[in-house]
Amino acid sequence: MKRLPSYKEWLKWLSSRSSIFETYSSFLREQEELFWELHKKLAAETKKVWTFSAPTASGKTHVMLLLADFLAHEHSVAVIVPNNYLKIETMSQKEFIKDEKIEEVKVLSLHEYVASSSNYDFSLVDEAHNLRTSLELDTRVVKSFRVFEVEDIFKDLADRFLPPGTDYNAQKLSTGDSRFVLREISNRFPSSRRIQRNLTAWAGFIYTSSKCCEVKFIKTGGIWSFRLPKKKLILFSATPLSTQELAFYCGIDPSLVEKSVTVPPFSRRAGQRTCFSVTDALNDDLKLTHLCNLLDLYPRRILVLFNNLVSCREAHRYLSRHLSKTQVFHISSYEDSKSRMKRYIEYLKHDDGILLSSSNVFWEGISVKDLGLLVIADIPYPRPSLFELSSGQKEDARKLVLRRLKQGLGRIGRTENGGICVLMFDIKRALRGMMKDLDADIKRELRFGSASEVFQIVKAACS
């Protein structure tokens, strides 16, 4: 890289190429902080991999594209996003860059980048926490098999892997357990026999609940390798992966990784988003009744996030029967999302409707345009990742809930019209002493009340 201009000169150069800056005469404070951290790293020319963390809805994508445009004047640059939907969204945001060089920047989905033989000077990854999700769902590397409680073989699996008195269990399978599971599922899933024939090449994991059992086998031997660019790999995320996770999922040596300071939230306007936490302890049936009443009185675009696919499908059946005047869609798994997501998102760009999802693509990165109401139906306990099960490292469940809440809440309040978020659980109980770690803007927006009190407030907001 030629001589890097001073930060003041660099920011002026970036500003001159941003139509968003031209409109508002300034960047967001979070964006300025990101530019400052990026400039320090570019000036120092330190380690190979940089990670940057800033809040959701803080303009990270625009920062990344301006950086890509700057680098493209001397280097080959790729911008990498988790999926094709975000690829289209990112490409559309190129129009806010007033420089022809931006057209030379390649925008690729993660799978396109991994499959490509091109070697770029700089690779910039947006929503980089999705490296974990994308790679866990890569069917070339991970084979998944689901068995539901109505199936004959479910009882044998649950008896062996769900301890008495528990609702959920996750574990890595021993060789003997892997053989047992594969024998049980071989007739139901003939493709599993290929794993049986070469079991030493696979590591097995099982997630068991009272309603569903999911078995995963992942290829061993370091197949999950993320090709590093010639100069720098730059990762952007609101909830970045740890160096150990980057090593496990991407094969990136921890000694190559340098983390920047986390940019705190500065810019959210008061009243732009309002969050309500329901303090009642609601069982599943009562939660569905309240959810139905809430959605019936709110005639806008609505996203409801669930913590598991079984609850999502049950809610879809219930709401489809009781909300006959409203379109109710559901995406409860990655397989659903690949075939349905584009169609549903296109519909919701132009019409009101309700989208139910337990898929990580909505928890962690995809937003519905002009979303009016976000409902988080369950305490978002994420199930243990393959990294945790493999390494035996378990993070405090409250920290995982906090991370997932930050991502989920980032789906609402991205426009000047604001929005309403309803948590159908008591967030104070869910975090148990970690409320202090919740972002200041979220704490400022939070209101607490019974289900009936919260729904009356939402109803008043609609009138």
Q: pLDDT of 150-193, one tens digit each?
A: 999 999 999 999 999 888 888 999 999 999 999 999 999 999 99
Its pTM stands at 0.79
User: What is the reported pLDDT for 167?
Assistant: 81
Statement: residue 461 has pLDDT above 80: no
pLDDT at position 338: 57
Q: Where are the domains of the chain?
A: 7-135+224-262, 142-219, 273-462
CATH architecture type of domain 7-135+224-262 = 3-Layer(aba) Sandwich (3.40)
Q: What percent of the chain has pLDDT over 70?
A: 87
Instruction: Classify burial at 129, counting beta carbons within 10 Å of its beta carbon; exposed 0-12, middle 13-18, buried 19 or more.
Output: buried
pLDDT in tens, 415-429: 666 678 889 889 888
Q: Looking at domain 273-462, which of 3.40.50.1000, 3.90.1150.10, 3.90.1200.10, 3.40.50.300 is its CATH number?
A: 3.40.50.300
> Higher-confidence residue: 26 or 442?
26
Q: Are 120 and 191 in contact (CB under 8 A)?
A: no
Question: How confident is the model over 113-123, as pLDDT tens digits?
Answer: 988 888 999 99
* Cross-sheet strand order for the sheet of 302-305: 328-331, 354-357, 302-305, 373-376, 419-423, 273-278, 446-449
> Can you tell me the distance from the alpha carbon of 83 to that of 88, in angstroms, rounded to the nearest whole number?
9
The alpha carbon dihedral of 347, 352, 357, 362 has a sign of positive
What pLDDT, in 10s, does the model give residues 272-323? 678 889 998 888 888 888 888 888 777 677 888 888 778 888 888 888 888 8
Residues in Cβ contact with 380 at an 8 Å cutoff, skipping those fewer than 6 apart: 305, 307, 363, 401, 404, 405, 408
Confirm whether 7-135+224-262 and 273-462 share one CATH topology: yes
Rounded CA-CA distance 171/203 in Å is 11
